Amino acid sequence: MSRPGLSRTSEAHGQITAELGDLYNPERGPVTWWSSDDVRIGTQRPWNQDGDRLPLLNRSAVDAAATFTDFASLADWVSLAASRDGTTVHGVVWTLTDARQTSVVLEARKRAVEDAVSKAAVY
C-alpha cells in the first residue's frame, strides 16, 4: 500500500471520528450512536481491454456510521464529510425511534377510527 494513500485514508478517518465524537451525546444528540471500522487496505492487479495486466492498484477504505437526531446537524455533517477528497457518503437511512413510531401508529389508528365512525354515521 502506498504510504501517501494510506496516510490520506488514516487522516480522513481521524477527522471523521473526531467530528462524530464531538457531536456524540447519547441523551441529547445530535449524534446518539456512532461506530467506525479499522482502515482496510488491499491491492489488486487489473486487466486492460487487451488482456494485459496493469500495474498494481492499491486501495484503502474505512466505514463509519452514525445515528443523528437532528436533521440540520446531519445535513451539516454530511456536507462537510462529502466535501473532502477521497470521502464518499454512501447514503442516509431514515428511521423513526421506537417512541416516535408508537406515537405515529396510535395517531393513525385514532384518525382511522374517527374516519370510520364519521362514514358510518352517514349510513
Over residues 60-93, the pLDDT tens digits come to 888 999 999 999 999 999 999 999 888 889 989 9
> 33: which residues sit within 8 A by CB, 6+ positions away?
24, 26, 66, 67
Using alpha carbons, list the distances in angstroms from residue 48 to 52, 54, 55: 6, 7, 10
Q: Which of 67, 66, 69 is nearest to 100 (CA)?
A: 69
pTM summary value = 0.70
Return the pLDDT at 123: 86
**pLDDT tens digit string along 24-69?**
999 999 999 999 998 888 889 999 999 999 999 888 888 999 999 9
Return the pLDDT at 27: 94
